[in-house]
């Protein structure tokens, strides 16, 4: 597991430092503290080359902070933050591999506790909100502190203090062994998590609710996908307009729609309204979403108008998904996709049109399109 864990650690720390760089002087100050921690540990274990490297980086960051602290005159940018994160991640791994214990990895982890947990909680929050994990937001810990009323400089100093306390307490891991070092690590880790809990960056109850909601949405999407696949099979079997309309009614029933209607103009200019209603549902009009869909047909330049009613059932999103799938079904299997009739089948088509008028799915309307419809 050494190779994948090493890659995960380097990528994680590099991006954590980049994400915490949201205020002037914040990322540079945290990295300076981490460099000091790694430098002390390197001296403690006799790694003079690594200690010299960390002291040099600490000195450059200290000079940089004079111009980067609020109000900043020089900015780090992504290149600077990614470079610092990569160097710190690589240095901590090199210290851990040359040490007899995991303190070389635990100390930088505690010192980088704010960036690490901020990245972890931010990505978790975005996943629960069904957004991309790299989408921007104002849910970082420094944004939370600003929203609480703290000033820019006070927020940066507060995070400095938390980082120094975590790193300072973690230093006791150098003088204790085995169980004592593990207890110190867990206690400091709990303290950092408590800071995020106090500022509101994480809410256990909201996280549980979000997980349940996402599981429910995933289950609903799978069910709608199965219904859509069944409806596609029914639409593919339609060869005439009567079969197409019957497949529309069966598909609407599969997708749990309330009603579907469409006005059709005959060749003699009269208008008939085709109506399908779901006998299992009778919701109030206030709980319905009424959508009008343009349906392509074989006559050039003409569009049919189909009206669809969908029950809300407590979730606009679920209703919208059913409408979207039904819209896709009608678009991909419209009347224009039906095969053209040959002269030998014209008589059977006329007989089928007469049968369509007697079908329970098709109801004629007397007096044109403005007449009433009864199912």
Least reliable range by pLDDT among 85-94, 227-236, 312-321:
312-321
What's the pLDDT at 286? 64
CA distance 150 to 207: 26
- CA-angle at 101, arms to 98 and 102, nearest 5°: 95
Residue 370 predicted with pLDDT over 50: no
CA distance 86 to 64: 18
Query: 235 near 244, Cβ under 8 Å?
Result: yes
What's the pLDDT at 316? 81
What's the pLDDT at 285? 61
Summary mean pLDDT of the chain: 81
Q: In the chain, which residues fall in CATH 3.30.1140?
A: 239-358
Is pLDDT larger for residue 353 or for residue 267? 267
Task: Tell me the pLDDT band of 375, cut-offs 50, 70 and 90.
Answer: very low
Return the CATH number of the domain spanning residue range 239-358.
Answer: 3.30.1140
Grouping H, G, I as helix, E, B as strand and the rest as coil, residue 150 is: coil
What's the pLDDT at 279? 80
What's the pLDDT at 9? 92
What's the pLDDT at 58? 94
- Give how far Cα 83 sits from Cα of 20, 96, 106, 140, 192, Å: 14, 20, 21, 21, 25
CA distance 192 to 170: 12
Task: Tell me the pLDDT band of 311, cut-offs 50, 70 and 90.
Answer: confident
CA distance 347 to 357: 16
Mean pLDDT, to the nearest integer, of 260-285?
Answer: 80
Task: Tell me the pLDDT band of 8, cut-offs 50, 70 and 90.
Answer: very high
What's the pLDDT at 290? 87
As given in the structure block, the two tokens for residue 157 are 């100093």
What's the pLDDT at 256? 84
Beta-ladder partners of 17: none
What's the pLDDT at 99? 62
What's the pLDDT at 284? 63
- Phi–psi pair at 351, nearest 5 degrees: -65, -35
Task: Tell me the pLDDT band of 301, cut-offs 50, 70 and 90.
Answer: low
Closest to 151 in 3D by CA, of 73, 71, 63: 71
Residue 315 predicted with pLDDT over 80: no
What's the pLDDT at 219? 86
As given in the structure block, the two tokens for residue 332 are 């991909």
Least reliable range by pLDDT among 70-74, 102-106, 211-215:
102-106
Residue 369 predicted with pLDDT over 50: no
Beta-ladder partners of 294: 305
Buried b vs exposed e over 185-210: b needs ≥16 C-beta within 10 Å?
beebbeebeebbeebebbeeeeeeeb
Global pTM exceeds 0.75: no
- Give how far Cα 332 sits from Cα of 22, 89, 243, 256, 258, Å: 47, 52, 16, 19, 21
Residue 365 predicted with pLDDT over 50: no
Residue 359 predicted with pLDDT over 80: no
Which long-range CB contacts under 8 A does 323-331 form with residues at least 24 apart? Answer: 323/289, 323/291, 325/224, 325/227, 325/228, 325/255, 326/251, 326/252, 326/255, 326/257, 327/291, 327/293, 328/228, 329/228, 329/231, 329/232, 329/235, 329/251, 330/248, 330/293, 330/295, 330/306
What's the pLDDT at 29? 93
Residue 32 predicted with pLDDT over 70: yes
Q: What whole-number percentage of the chain has pLDDT above 90? A: 22
Q: Mind giving me the DSSP string for 53-77?
A: HHHHHHHHHHHHHHHHSSSPSS--H
Grouping H, G, I as helix, E, B as strand and the rest as coil, residue 129 is: coil
What's the pLDDT at 299? 63
Extract the runs of DSSP E, i.e. beta strands, from the chain. Answer: 259-265, 271-277, 288-296, 303-311
Query: 220 near 313, Cβ under 8 Å?
Result: no
What's the pLDDT at 320? 85
Least reliable range by pLDDT among 33-47, 70-84, 163-177, 285-299:
285-299
Least reliable range by pLDDT among 114-128, 226-240, 293-307:
293-307
Closest to 186 in 3D by CA, of 76, 72, 110: 110
Q: Give pLDDT tens digits for 216-272.
A: 888 888 888 888 888 888 888 888 888 888 888 888 888 888 889 988 877 777 888
As given in the structure block, the two tokens for residue 190 are 């709990």
Q: Give pLDDT tens digits for 173-209.
A: 888 877 888 888 899 999 999 998 888 777 778 888 8
CA distance 336 to 70: 65
């Amino acid at each position: 597991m050494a190779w994948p864990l090493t890659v995960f650690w380097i990528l994680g720390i590099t991006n954590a430092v980049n994400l915490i760089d949201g205020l002037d002087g914040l990322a540079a100050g945290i990295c300076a503290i981490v460099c000091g921690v790694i430098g002390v540990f390197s001296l403690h274990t006799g790694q003079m080359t690594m200690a010299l490297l960390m002291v040099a980086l600490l000195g450059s960051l200290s000079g940089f902070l004079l111009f980067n602290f609020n109000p900043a005159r020089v900015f780090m940018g992504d290149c600077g933050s990614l470079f610092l994160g990569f160097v710190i991640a690589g240095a901590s791994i090199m210290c851990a591999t040359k040490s007899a214990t995991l303190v070389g990895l635990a100390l930088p982890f505690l010192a980088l506790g704010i960036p690490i947990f901020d990245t972890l909680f931010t990505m978790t929050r975005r996943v629960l909100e069904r957004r991309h994990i790299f989408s921007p937001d104002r849910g970082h810990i420094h944004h939370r502190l600003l929203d609480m009323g703290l000033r820019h400089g006070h927020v940066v100093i507060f995070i400095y203090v938390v980082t120094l306390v975590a790193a300072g307490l973690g230093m006791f891991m150098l003088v204790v062994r085995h169980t004592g070092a593990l207890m110190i690590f867990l206690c400091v880790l709990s303290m950092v998590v408590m800071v995020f809990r106090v500022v509101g960056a994480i809410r256990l109850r909201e996280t549980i609710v979000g997980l349940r909601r996402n599981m429910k949405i995933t289950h609903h999407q799978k069910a709608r996908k199965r219904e859509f696949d069944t409806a596609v099979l029914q639409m593919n079997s339609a060869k005439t307009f009567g079969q197409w309309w019957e497949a529309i009614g069966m598909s609407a029933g599969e997708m749990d729609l309330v009603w579907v209607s469409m006005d059709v103009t005959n060749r003699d200019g009269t208008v008939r309204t085709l109506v399908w209603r779901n006998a299992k549902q009778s919701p109030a009009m206030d709980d319905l979403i009424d959508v009008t869909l343009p349906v392509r047909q074989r006559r050039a330049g003409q569009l049919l108008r189909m009206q669809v009613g969908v029950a809300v059932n407590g979730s606009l999103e679920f209703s919208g998904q059913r409408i979207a799938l039904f819209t896709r079904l009608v678009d991909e299997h419209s009347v224009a996709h039906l095969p053209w009739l040959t002269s030998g089948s014209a008589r059977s088509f006329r007989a089928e049109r007469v049968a369509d008028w007697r079908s329970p799915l098709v109801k004629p309307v007397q007096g044109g399109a403005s007449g009433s419809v009864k199912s």
